[in-house]
Every structure is written in C-alpha cells, then in structure tokens.
Structure 1
Amino acid sequence: MSKLPGNAGVSVLGDKSVEFYRDPVSFCRQRIEKHRSGVFQSRLLNRPTAFICSVKGTRELLCEKSNVFLKDPTDLMTNMYGDTIVTTNGEEACLLRLSLMSLFTGSCLESSNDYITSVCERCLKDLSLSVWSACVFLSGQPECVYSAFKRLGTELVLGLFLNVRAEEQPELYQEISQLCTQHWHGLISAPVNVKVPLWSSGFSTALDARDKLMDIIKDKLEHDKQGFVGSLGSLPLPDSSSASQHLLLFISALIPKALASLLTSFTLALSGNEQMRRRAMEEPDYLRRVLLEVQRLWPPFIGGRRIADQDSTLAGFDVPKGYGAIYISHAVHRDPEVFQQPDSFLPERWSGRNAGQEHFLCAFGSGPRGCIGNKLTDVFLKEACMYLLKHYDWHLDPPSQDLDYKWLPVSRPANPPTVSFTRLDQTRSDRNDTS
C-alpha cells in the first residue's frame, strides 16, 4: 500500500478548513491535478483527513468499509439533532434503520402521492404570472426561483411528516417554517453558544429554535395518531426521545433545501430546450435519466465525513486510525475513469456506458448509511418536474447569464438566475391566434 499523496500539515497552523470551505470544488480540483490522484490528504477541522474524490475510493468508504469509517460522534449534527439514524454508529444505527425503513417504502410511500400532487399544483400553478428571478414581483414581494422551490419543499415536508398543512394551519405552519430556518442556521454557524443582552450567537439562536420545535413535535406525537406522526410514534425505537429527535431531523430545512437545489438545477439544465423537455414529459425513463444527470453534475450537498476507527486503506492508500475521511460528491460524480465527458450534461449516458451505475452517485450518501428517504425524494422530484414539463415553457431571460455555482452550504447558482415561464396552454392559444 502507498502513503496518501499530499501533506496533512501541523496542528492548527496547517489547517486548511478556511480554504476548503471558501471554495471546496477549486480546493479539490487543484490538489487532484497537483497529485494526479483522486485521493489525497490535507488537514480539515484540525484533523489529518483523506479526501476521496474517486468512485472507487468512495465505494470503499461508504459500502465495503462502512464498519471501519464511522460517523464522527462530536459532529455538529449530533448537537443539533441528537442521536438519530444520521449520527449513530454500529448496531444502534442498523436497528434504527430497520425500524424506520417501513415509513419510507411500500404503502406508506404510496399514501403520500395525492398530497404531493396537490402541493405541487398549488405551489407551481402561478409561475407564469411574472418573471422569476433574484427580484421577481409576486404579490409585491421579490424572491428567487430557489426560494420558490424551497417553499414547495417545506410544504411537502411539514405536511407529510408533521401533519401541518399550510392551507389548513397557516399560523402554525409559518411558525414552524421560521423555527426550521433558525435551526438550520445553527448548522452553518460556529458552534459557540453565547447570549448577551440584545444579541445571541447564531448557534445559540439555533438551539433555542430546536427547543421550541421539540415542544411542538412532542405535542404532535402525543395527540396525533394519524399519518407519519402516528406511525412513527408506534415504532419500536430505543427510547422515548428517539421519535421526537427523528421528527426534528425529517422536518429540518435540509430536505427542502436539497429539493430546491435539484429543482433549480433541473430548471436551468432544460431552460430553452423545448425538444428535451417534451421528450422528458413523454418518456418517464428519459426523465429519470435527466434527473440522474442533474444529480450527478449538481449534487445538493458537497459530501460527507467519517473517522477511521482503525488502520485501513482506501483506493490503495493507507489511512491511519483517527484520520478523517471526506468524500466530495462533486468530484466523485465527475471521475473521468467512470464518466466520459464528465463536465457535459448527457442524460443518454445512463442508457449507455453508465447504465445500471446509479449507485455510483453519492449526493445522498450510499451503501448501508445512504439516505433513508431516497425513494421519497425521487417521488417529490418527479412529481414537481412533471408538473413543470406539462404546464410550462421556460427560458433564461436574458439568455446570457453567469450560472457559476456556490457549493456550500447547499449548491445553487451564486448569482440568482432570471427565468421566464410561459404556460403551455397560453403558448398554444397565442399560436392559434396567429395562424
């Protein structure tokens, strides 16, 4: 075996966290080119860390050696969500997954379809009223496309997981939405719990929001016996707090932001391409390939981190016990050894060279610790995308715009793009009027 390329630096002074978080894509790309390797080492969060930017290394990390590379017990996610399926390790994580899996498959998944359809229709029916942009004027308030899709995701999540529907309980819905946003900001703030008169740190505000959300969640678990809440409350979970901690995870801003990221990327990828949109609308398998390619090129999250529980190897390189290991989904998805023309948007690759290789994608993890809600996310995305395809033409307006992405905390264009939507029935009517 070989030593990891690169240098882990010295404690504190050699830490590269600021450089990495400023631009993780450039950080990794420069080192991949320098070391001519999709695996290298640096110092992140003041810990020597193996960066995994290849499909082979990531498959080992997340699948073949998932019992060696564990979740970090000191991770900020544990502080914000407690002991959940995302933060635990070993047998506890396996048992939680077995208990929760039934909520995201089979009849439980099918029972969600009608609600998902109704929310997509309500949230997306008025896109053509204006130009959606960094400043789109709808009801007098400026907002961006990403924000519109995030609201769609929030309605879906709160309605499905907490039985709180925007049209039925608008005040409670708004309260929970605001608390989820405050809680999310704690995940991207320095973990410093400080309160002084007239000011609190972001992390402190997030902890307060978490406590208020937990009060709402516990009340729901006590009194709601229907839907997801009722099913979760009846599961054999480790202790009385487990159900509430998992509900906090499921209603968090993570899911709406991931959906908004992917829907924004989908909208941009098919902007102005009427032929591709029509084919995606008429051929369900082609839409599936389009969404796979969207996920490949623009994964909503940059990756995930583990800690080596013992001396091991990844992609032929030694990884000592105690090292961090972080997989970078953007780089993994563009591994030239697996994906030809890795930077090009080519949905047809998924029916050709890469057919059957969907499991190489790691936008939502992979292997035994992959996202438990993957199938539900697929249903969300397909329903929203089909609504857009059936009801709208859209194009960038103006045609030339800066679409460079920012990748943290969730991927999306750094400069909100301007997209003009036109209802298909209106387009057909205009064509008939001129014929």
Structure 2
Amino acid sequence: MSKLPGNAGVSVLGDKSLEFYRDPVSFCRQRIDKHRSRVFVSRLLNRPTVFICSVEAMRELLCEKSNQFLKDPTDLMTNVYGDTIVTTNGEEACLLRLSFTSLFTGTRLESSSDYITSVCERCLKDLSVRDQPQCGYSVFKHLGTELVLGLFLNVRAEEQPELFEEISQLCTTHWHGLISAPINLKGPLWSSGFSTALDARDKLMDIVKDKLQNDKEGFVGHLGSLPLPDSRAAAQHLLLFISALIPKALASLLTSFTLALSGNEKEETRRRAKEDPDFLHRVLLEVQRLWPPFIGGRRLADQDSTLAGFLVPKDYGVVYISHAIHRDPEVFQEPDSFLPDRWSGRNAGQEHFLCSFGNGPRNCIGPKLTNVFLKLIILPPVPRFFPPSIPPIHPAPPLHQGNLHS
C-alpha cells in the first residue's frame, strides 16, 4: 500500500477548486506529469480529494469498490434537484434504479423514434442552406431541449411555443445553480445566482406537479404510475429529466462529432459512417472517448480503502476525470488521436472502460436514450446534418467545466 502522490494542502488556503474548475484538463495534465502518476491527491471544495485519471482506478472506484465510495449527501445536486437517483445511496438508490430503468429502454424508446425524427428534420433542415457561420453548440442544445421537453413533459415547441420558451429559460436559470457559489441571498435589487436558480426550481416544480396531476399519457403518465418511495419522488425526478443536463450532453457530443468529421481530409470517414452503422457506432465511441461531455463525477470514501494500490482515508473526496481516464496510454494507444477503428481492434469490446456517463452499478440510466438521439439525428432521414453539408460552425468546448456529473 503506497502513499498518495501530491499534497492535500491546508484548509481554505490550500484549496485548488478555482484552479481546477478554470481548466480541469490542464490541472490534471500538470499533476500527472509532476507526480508521474495518474492517481494523485489535492484539495477540492476544501476537502482532501483523490483525483482518478486511470482506467484501472476508475473501474475500482465505480465497480469493484462502489459500496465503499458513496455519493455526497451535501452535494449541490441535492440542493438543486432534491433526493433523486443521482444523489441517493444504498437501498433507496437501488430501488429507484429498478423503477426508472424500464422508462429508458426497449419499446418506450422505439415508440419515441417518430417524434425524435420529426423534431430533428425541422430543427436541422436549414443548416445546409445558410451562408453565415453558426454556433453549432447552440443549434444542437435547442434541438436537445425540444426533444427532452416533448418526450418527458409533453410540451412541444410547435404546439405550445410560449410555454416551451418559458420552461427553456427556467431550465437554463435552474442549471446555473450548479455552477454558482451556494449562497442563498435575496434582496429587493439583487439576488445571488444560487438564489435565482432556486426560484427557477420552484417555478419548474409547479409546472411539473401540474403535469403529473393532469397528464396521464406518455412519459409523464408512466412516471406518475411508478411505485416510488414518497410523493415527492416523481416530481423531483421529472425535474431532473427535463433539466439542461441531457441537452447539454447531447449538444456537446454532436458538436464534437461535427468538428471531428468536418474537412476534406475526412471525406472517406464520412462516407463509411453513412454507409456502415457499425463504423458509425465506433465513430461515436471515439467522439465520446476524446471529448466526454462532463468532467467526471465525485464520491466520498465511506471507510479507509485503496485505489490502484494507494491508501484513501475515510472521508476523503474522490473525483474521477473522464477526459484523463479516456486518454490513459496503458489502455488506449495513441490516446490523443481520433481513431474509430481502435474499437474493432485493440479496444474491441472495451466500451466499459469509458465513463462519460459514469460506470458500474451507479452509471447513468439514460445512455441508451442518448444513443438513440444521436443516431436518429445523424443518420437518414436527416442526411443534411452530416458535416460536409453544414456551413461553418463556431465550436463550443465539448467539456462542460462547470459541473461534475454524479
């Protein structure tokens, strides 16, 4: 058992949160080079925190030892969303996962394909005829918002434009609570960003509760009929599902896909992706590997334990960094290169080494839905989306640096 490389610093003065959130990629790269280790310790959110940047340690944390490293009950996600499948631990988390998994698989996804296709055709049809550069990330985020609000809340932009716009704005304001200092201050002329986010949450909850009470069709109806722990659970989870979380992840991946396949030198790659669904799947895996949409996730050590042979004391924080894990040279040769065929060669069958949406028994329950979104957006009957037919777009950073995906 070895001592963790790095320094946890002293309380407050030694905190590195500002440096980390300003540029998490550089933060980790510098320390990996300095300590010659992909596991190291620093101080984050004023707590000694172990940073996980290797596949081996990530698999230990999220799979083999998931019962030793728990979700933080004081995390901002709890304040902003309440007790949900993302923030709970133990038996409650298992029961919630069993209840919700059925809503994101099988026939429920297949029954949504017509709506997804119609939204994609309408939102993307003009991309190929515009002459001026556009912010691709914004276009894709709006698309994701339409899909999420239509599928989960029965609010469709074409049918209820004013309500759709109101909810969209509230979701954006609410999301900013996750990237604001958790200070709830409100005055006649000024309110803190966190306070404004909580106000938006309350307004969204009123809309959500009304939908659950009065809508008996679609996702809302199925959610309302689930056997959940208490009367608040359905509303809190519906708030989570309609939040900016999914549109931001979808927009990030689509922006990265567009940039990765743009340019004359990628013509053959585009052709193969159009004609071969298996190759398209490998392209999407490689996009997810190189440009994960979230920084990673955070846990707390519930007991003294070890990760990759290093001692992790009880109550230490542990953060896994998707961008660094996906570029672990021990697993991915030429880790910084875009090589889709690695997934039919050396890394065939190793999709479980990715952690864009978590990993192990507490991974995200919605990756199948995200995969359906991506493939219905990219493949015909929406051929105009493919990069060669889009005008220049302004890229947005694929990595959302303001939050940790839990």
For the aligned pair, the TM-score class normalised by the smaller chain equals: over 0.9
Provide the residue aligned with 2:59 in structure 1: 59
Distance, in Å, in 2 between the alignment partners of 1:249 and 1:404 is: 23
* One-letter amino acid of the structure 2 residue matched with residue 174 of structure 1: E
Matched, 1:6 2:2: no
* One-letter amino acid of the structure 2 residue matched with residue 196 of structure 1: G
- For 1:394, what is the secondary structure of its paired residue? helix
Q: Deviations over 1:285-335 (max 9, x none)?
A: 000000000000000001000000000000110000000000000000000
Q: Of 249, 252, 256, which aligns to 1:261?
A: 252
Matched, 1:345 2:338: yes
Shift in alpha-carbon separation, 1:102–1:405, aligned structure 2, 3 A: closer
Higher strand share goes to which structure?
1
Q: Which moved more, 1:379-388 or 1:329-338?
A: 379-388
Larger RCO: Structure 1 or Structure 2 (Cα < 8 Å, ≥ 6 residues apart)? 2
Identity value in percent: 79
Report how far residue 109 of structure 1 moved. Answer: 1.4
Matched, 1:215 2:206: yes
Structure 2: state its 5+ residue gaps: none
Report how far residue 107 of structure 1 moved. Answer: 1.3
Provide the residue aligned with 1:86 in structure 2: 86
Contact 1:309 1:322 in 2 (8 A): yes
Matched, 1:280 2:273: yes
Q: TM-score normalized by structure 1?
A: 0.89
Distance, in Å, in 1 between the alignment partners of 2:289 and 2:395 is: 20
Matches within 5 A, 1:21-36: 21-36=21-36
CA RMSD for the aligned pairs? 1.8
Shift in alpha-carbon separation, 1:244–1:396, aligned structure 2, 3 A: closer
Please list every run of at least 4 consecutive aligned residues from structure 1 whose deviation after the TM superposition is greater than 4 angstroms: 395-399, 401-407
Distance, in Å, in 2 between the alignment partners of 1:132 and 1:39 is: 45
Figure out how many residues of one structure are paired with residues of the other and give that number.
401
* One-letter amino acid of the structure 1 residue matched with residue 93 of structure 2: A
Report how far residue 396 of structure 1 moved. Answer: 8.9
* One-letter amino acid of the structure 2 residue matched with residue 160 of structure 1: L
Matched, 1:333 2:319: no
Report how far residue 394 of structure 1 moved. Answer: 2.4
Contact 2:292 2:398 in 1 (8 A): no
Matched, 1:271 2:262: yes
* One-letter amino acid of the structure 2 residue matched with residue 190 of structure 1: A
- For 1:276, what is the secondary structure of its paired residue? helix
Matches within 5 A, 1:144-155: 144-155=135-146
Distance, in Å, in 2 between the alignment partners of 1:7 and 1:63 is: 26
Q: Of 154, 160, 174, which aligns to 1:163?
A: 154
Shift in alpha-carbon separation, 1:172–1:402, aligned structure 2, 3 A: closer
Q: Deviations over 1:22-63 (max 9, x none)?
A: 111111001111111110000100100110000000001111
Distance, in Å, in 2 between the alignment partners of 1:221 and 1:397 is: 41
Distance, in Å, in 1 between the alignment partners of 2:199 and 2:131 is: 37
- For 2:364, what is the secondary structure of its paired residue? coil
Contact 1:24 1:407 in 2 (8 A): no
Report how far residue 390 of structure 1 moved. Answer: 2.3
- For 1:196, what is the secondary structure of its paired residue? coil
Shift in alpha-carbon separation, 1:32–1:206, aligned structure 2, 3 A: same
Distance, in Å, in 1 between the alignment partners of 2:166 and 2:316 is: 41
Distance, in Å, in 1 between the alignment partners of 2:46 and 2:132 is: 42
Contact 1:278 1:389 in 2 (8 A): no
* One-letter amino acid of the structure 2 residue matched with residue 289 of structure 1: R
* One-letter amino acid of the structure 2 residue matched with residue 235 of structure 1: L
Q: Which moved more, 1:193-202 or 1:326-335?
A: 193-202
- For 1:325, what is the secondary structure of its paired residue? strand
- For the pair shown, the structure with the greater C-alpha radius of gyration is 1
